[in-house]
Amino acid sequence: MNTEAIAKDLDVKGLNCPLPILRAKKALTDMTSGQVLRVVATDPGSVKDFAAFCKQTGNTLLSSADNGKEFTFVISKR
């Protein structure tokens, strides 16, 4: 995915559950349908949390990546 498609970046590094999800939810409320949010987190639990969050809310998890230190999620707003 190219970075031009990213409408908003959210840095939630250092925050633990449920804060990364709550911050992402808040960021998505300010966005329009189809816009893309990139979230960078350090909480290992965020992998399962973001997958479940997207499934429950109808947003699309376009990608998730793990570089060993950080987890990056790219979400398209429904």
**63: Cβ contacts below 8 Å, ≥ 6 apart:** 1, 72, 73, 74
Nearest-angstrom CA–CA distance, 64 and 34 = 18
Q: Does the annotation count 17 as an active-site position?
A: yes
Among 7, 10, 15, 17, the one annotated catalytic: 17
Catalytic residues: 17
